[in-house]
Structure 1
Amino acid sequence: MSDHTQNYKISHMAHKGDGVAVTPNGEVYVPFTLPGEVVSLKLEGKRARLEQIVSTSDARVAPVCGHFGVCGGCNLQHMSDELYSEFKQNLVREALLDRGLELPLDGVQISPRHSRRRAVFTATRAGHKILLGFHEARSHKLVDLQECPVLDKRIVSRIGDIKKLASLCLPRKGDVKLTVIASETGLDIAIQSDEKTAHKRLLELSQATMALNFARVTLNGEMVLEAKQPTLAMGKATVPIAPGGFIQATQQAEDAMSALVMEGLRGCKNVADLFCGVGTFSFHIAEKAKVCGYESDKNALKAFDMARRQVKGLKSIHFEQRDLFRRPLTAQELYNFAKGFDGVVFDPPRAGAHAQAKELAKSKVRKIVAISCNPASLARDLKELIDGGYSVKKVVPIDQFIYSAHVEVVALLERVTKK
């Protein structure tokens, strides 16, 4: 570690959004800097502390949040729109190139500010004060949220009320987690607490849920009160959501991905929706084709089934509980089901769907839509499919985690027909 500051030029950006400076000791990572900037640094191993920006990039803009630079939730608010879009696109391009795939990319589809409808907060005590927000980067210190340009205004406007709720089950030391979803019927709040006596506060939490007009509150998976069932619209269906359940982070990203799914499966009559969750894409697909969803999560499938039973005017929808990591749908099963699936969409967790991609590569499925929140695992799975005889028709980056170094990707593929 050096006790002296020195000036260095930022050469490029790393994949997590830090600027990179080349020093006599090798590359170091410098948060909140941009390519071309000359900065004064104090070296601290592989990372460096920014002391001063000596020469500023023309692509630097004023952050839109007063917490920027402290809160660990965002680290890219200092970038111009043009550079930001280029950075997100490069994340996808470089992941593909790492697998030897040089594919044309569409422009990045970026969600607007105040569109994030799901947040995981931490709450803790600081003397007589309740803090609620996100942790600082690489720290256990909590930023007490006063504003947020990312979160849905239905959540931001209720920060004070969420604090009141958290205060009822906070231990004297330690914290609680609150997963908050802005549903169509109000806020759904799922509280996780390690406090041994937290369950004794159920009555107080129930009264607060009513008084503060929350749709539903659960504590450690146990229902406190459901005043109104939290739901989200997915195509023509109204889908009940599980407490703290997984949903696409923004409505805009979900709409964009659904449109791409329908584009990629155009003309298909029988579709498998793999890792279907609560049916985010299934209900759209069922407007044009028969669909069978596959998912391991029981709660997600319960919501899927409730929505499926109530929606009208769709083609047949079926589902099956199945762990596709451990037991992927085989090429033979893909062929056998009702004389064969001609379309497949898969949207797995970050680990990707490698085992499933191998089976798809051996299948006769005509069209595939591959979706991932991890460009690296998607690139690996696409390589498997391309080697198996598929052609990539379109790759679209989707940015629903704005101001962060995350990006989603949708790829449309078709099986190459032999002439």
Structure 2
Amino acid sequence: MTERLLITRLGQRGDGVADGPGGPVFVAGALPGETVEAEVEGERGRLVAVETPSPSRVAPFCPHYGRCGGCVMQHADPATYAAWKREGVVAALRHARLDAPVEPLVAAHGEGRRRATFHVRRAPGEGRPVAIAGFMAARSHEVVPLDACPLLVPALADAPALARALGEALGGAGKPLDVQLTATAGGIDVDVRGHGPASPSQRRSLALLAERLDLARLSLHGDVVVERRPPLVTMGKAIVAPPPGGFLQATAQGEEALARLVVEAVGKAKIVADLFAGVGPFALRLAERASVHAVESDGAAMLALDRAARQTPGLKPIGVETRDLFRRPLLGPELARFDAVAFDPPRAGAEAQARQLAGSAVPVVVAVSCNAASFARDAALLVAGGYTLARVTPVDQFWQSAHVELVGVFEKKRPGQRRRTLG
């Protein structure tokens, strides 16, 4: 059913929102102030035509926009886009009844995303199925085939072709594959998921393919098939070789922006805990001025961090601990020795650890998050425990998507201590 709708605002996922008689209607590709025609089914509307375009409307820069689900706001100008992303953080804090200044959005796309995961599937071809590689369509499990993605760093310009080649080599099992490609100083690091263990002959074929494709490293489910060159990443003064399939921030500039905010917030603290530390994007930079205790559940990441720390001159000591902070958060007596704590959990947040921090006397806590809702929940726990949420800074490394990173700085005044001035 086609309806004429007036778009009044943007939703959290970038959809234009109209107020219909039965409730809100979400229309992808529409902007506030526009009158549009849309085919409406339930709460969703498919944009048919824009009758009165917004002055904020611009032409998308990718030919796949609208089908590929990776981007949601290429049709909006930079000011509208930045305001929408920041408002998502403001709304999450408001929902949790948290009052804190929210800084302007920090642009952190840089040269582009240094890592991407392509979904590889089999599709009908001339005479036999062929591999296709791409991203999922919006609200769908359908793969949109891609030859290029303008959001990636130049080193990943051939990423879809590399993913297809690996899909062809592993296509005999007919399984859907996820191919993660990361641009590193040593070349492209690839981890393939979904295939399962490879036979000795498959491993030999994959090693030869890695040679032909000039990959730095190729692994299956984290199991290294061949490493031709170390896949190295610079973090502050240190050079890290992440474990196969390990986590990295999406963009180099995003990592630098988040780390800068963490280091600035910690200030002159002498002993710092870095929780959910990964391979050390914060710990290695913090150690340029403070002793650091890094905690992470991934043992391989801890080994990579420890190796990088030992090989980097001029750093203060970094202690590493492999520990599941969801099940075994650092407790009050363990937290008592730290002048500051930084934590950067997965999207689910760090509720158990936040509860322990809330009851502690750590003067400064810095929370990094990729999910405004779970951040707000954890922040509310800290505030209830006596912390002041001094500021929140949204960081945009997932350009054109609905995802936003953020850094929140919390202060707790010790008895007889003056309030610390941030800056």
Among 71, 84, 87, the alignment partner of 2:84 is 87
The counterpart of 2:43, out of the listed 46, 53, 58, is 46
The CA deviation at 1:196 is 7.5
Correspondence list, 1:6-405, <5 A: 6-112=3-109, 114-128=111-125, 129-171=130-172, 173-194=174-195, 200-335=201-336, 340-405=337-402
**Identity over aligned residues, as a percent?**
42
Task: Please state whether the residue corresponding to 1:411 is helix, strand or coil.
Answer: strand
- Which residue of structure 2 aligns with residue 409 of structure 1? 406
The answer to whether the Cα contact below 8 Å between 2:18 and 2:26 also exists between their aligned partners in 1 is yes
Preserved contact between residue 2 and residue 38 of structure 2 (Cα < 8 Å) = yes
* 1:353-386 alpha-carbon deviations (Å, 9 max, x no partner): 1221121121121111111001111112112222
Distance 1:225 1:162 in 2: 17
* Contact 2:196 2:220 (C-alpha < 8 Å) held by counterparts: no
Aligned counterparts of 2:20 and 2:175: Cα–Cα separation in 1: 40
Q: Distance in 1 between matches of 2:143 and 2:200?
A: 25
Opposite residue 119 of structure 1, the aligned amino acid is: A
Once the two structures are overlaid, the 10-residue window that deviates more, 201-210 or 105-114, is: 105-114
Amino acid across the alignment from 1:145: L
8 Å Cα contact 2:120/2:163 also seen in 1? no
Please tell me the residue identity of whatever aligns with 2:324. Answer: D
Partner Cα separation in structure 1 for residue 4 and residue 305 of structure 2: 57
- Would you say the 8 A contact 2:196–2:221 is kept in 1? no
Amino acid at match of 1:210: E
Cα separation, 2, equivalents of 1:236 and 1:188: 22
1:171 offset after TM fit, Å?
3.4
Please give the alpha-carbon distance, in whole angstroms, between the structure 2 residues aligned to 1:310 and 1:130.
42
Gapped regions of structure 2 (runs ≥ 5): 417-423
Q: Which runs of 5+ in 1 are unaligned?
A: none
Moved over 3 A (4+): 171-174, 193-200
Aligned residue type for 1:327: R
**Structure 1, 45-54 or 180-189: larger mean CA deviation:** 45-54
Displacement of 1:398? 0.4
SS where residue 182 of structure 1 aligns? strand
The alpha carbon displacement at 1:86 in A equals 0.4
Displacement of 1:124 after TM fit? 2.1
Does the 8 A contact of 1:170 with 1:195 survive in 2?
no
Secondary structure in 2 aligned to 1:171? helix
Q: RMSD of the TM alignment (CA)?
A: 1.7
Give the aligned residue type for 1:369. V
Task: Give, in whole Å, the separation in 2 of the partners of 1:365 and 1:153.
Answer: 43
For this pair of structures, how many residues does the alignment match? 412
TM-score, normalised by the number of residues in structure 2:
0.93
Question: 1:317: how far off?
Answer: 0.8
Spell out, residue by residue over 1:227-286, the C-alpha distance to the aligned partner (whole angstroms, 9 max, x if none).
011111111111111112110111111111111111111110001111111111101111
Cα 1:118/1:8, change in 2 over 3 Å: same
**Partner amino acid, structure 1, of 2:279:** V
**One-letter amino acid of the structure 1 residue matched with residue 345 of structure 2:** P
Q: Deviations over 1:33-79 (max 9, x none)?
A: 11111111111112112111111111111111110000011111111
